[in-house]
Amino acid sequence: MITATQIRGARAMIGMSIEELAAASGLPVETVTALENGEFAGEPHALFDVRSTLEANGIIFLSSGNQDEGGPGIRLRARTSSDDGIRPENLNAANDD
């Protein structure tokens, strides 16, 4: 089970709006908003759809038992692509976006 706080945090971590999450998960915006407000009653499929969508976008959900201290959390999946970005010594005004 994931929490409303995890959903909000995961969405913020990947820069996804409520509208984008709703569209990607195939749910109405109102349903995603309700899930983020902790209103899970009667929406088990919606919670599954939101979780699956966030996981497909690189989020890993941590249960409270995954860490020595603290409660449930989130993190980003490690990069699997060969794009490691720009090395610090190669930063300059030409590649500044």
pLDDT digits (tens, 9 = 90+) for 41-85: 777 899 999 999 999 999 999 887 655 567 788 999 886 665 666
Tokens of 90: 């190669």
Q: What is the CATH number of the domain that holds 46?
A: 1.10.260.40
Q: Does residue 81 lie in a domain region?
A: no
Q: Does residue 10 lie in a domain region?
A: yes
* pTM assigned to the model: 0.74
pLDDT at 83: 60
pLDDT at 68: 59
By residue range, what is the domain housing residue 31?
Answer: 4-76
Q: Does residue 34 lie in a domain region?
A: yes
Q: Does residue 96 lie in a domain region?
A: no
